[in-house]
Amino acid sequence: MTRTKRSMIPVLVLCLLAGSSWAQTETAIPEAASEAEKILIVGQRPGPGMWRVSKDDHVLWVFAKYGPLPLKMEWRSHEVEAVLAKSQEYLPSPTSHASTGVWGTIKLVTALPSIWNMQNNPNGATLREVVPAESYERWLALKEKYMAGDKEVERYRPIFAASSLFEHGLKQIGLSNKEQVLPTIDKLVKQYKLKVTPSSVNVDMSDASKLLKDFSKSTLEDGSCFATTLAQLETDIDNMRLRANAWATGDIELIRQLNFADREGTCRAAVEASTAFQSRPDLLEMRAKSRDIWIANAEKALESNTSTFAVLTMQDVLSPTGLIARLQAKGYKVEAPE
């Protein structure tokens, strides 16, 4: 593993806790994809229409982002641009930020050589030794298919081995988790000079080096994360392509059939249960806090603006416990795109 890739491991851990997704994963749709539908879309595509949340004549337009998407697709929506042009404010998805300070940054950089291997199992254990035999045999078959020849991954913790396998698998089937929507939206927001109201929680990470060292020594209950990833790659490849195409073309009827399985939540739970992170309640609470802030910002925007634009994940838009459902429960009118 290169130095750059190793240095991304601490970021991956914190992104899980903040709620950033490695991949939006779902259970299979009702009917199998036809051979034509398995062909991935290329070129410029608009994605789905926007959800309309309103109070009297004040409207919050919500665009649902999704991933993985076709590798050779370019997102561009003239409908979104038209809404941005007439809006007064932009609400990005809830996020969390780590603040280390100058001294904390120095300590973290100094400690990096000793925590680059935090993705490895404690005491030099291998995957064969820490996962059930049946799961390991399935892992070997998928590894041979998607990342043959990688010997180092055999010492990874199951949660990191699963992530590496999943990303290699996506690339081979023509999908990518590379962010396509937000860079374009950010440019348009600047172009139309919208007010940007983040829903973010700042977390003190001046002790990041200690936290990550403790994490590298702790035991993780990440078997469910590992097993879920294997199942996804074994049974759902064609449907992943189909769902990516459905988002790209804005096929709302098919999108409504998507039943989101919370793979991200399963993997995040393993990190949160570690002794290292159980000692930091502020890290465990930051995702919920940022989501509460987003709700408060959305209500304020609906009170103040005639038009507001927001971005959420497809899961937060469709889930009965998502942010759009929370606004609807508060009495706001919610209309899905046609």
Nearest to 161 by CA among 213, 220, 210: 220
Between 51-55, 68-72, 185-189, 254-258, the lowest mean confidence (pLDDT) is in 254-258
Tokens 């080096």, located at residue? 209
Question: Any idea how long the chain is?
Answer: 338
DSSP 1-40: --HHHHHTHHHHHHHHHHT--S---EEPPSSPPPTTTTSP
Residue pLDDT, tens place only, 155-182: 998 988 988 998 899 888 888 888 888 9
Which helix (H) or strand (E) is 176 found in, with range?
strand 175-176
Q: pLDDT-derived band of residue 122, with 50, 70 and 90 as boundaries?
A: confident
Distance CA 26, CA 68 (A): 11
Are 29 and 254 spatial neighbours (Cβ–Cβ below 8 Å)? yes
Distance CA 14, CA 283 (A): 9
Q: What is the pTM of this model?
A: 0.80
Residue pLDDT, tens place only, 58-99: 999 999 998 888 888 888 889 999 999 999 999 999 987 766
| DSSP 8-state secondary structure symbol assigned to residue 235 | H
Between these two residues, 327 and 271, which has the higher pLDDT value? 327
| DSSP 8-state secondary structure symbol assigned to residue 333 | E
pLDDT at res. 229? 86
Are 21 and 14 spatial neighbours (Cβ–Cβ below 8 Å)? no
pLDDT at res. 20? 43
Read off the tokens for 211. 């936290």
Residue pLDDT, tens place only, 17-72: 555 433 444 444 445 445 445 566 666 788 889 999 999 999 999 999 988 888 88
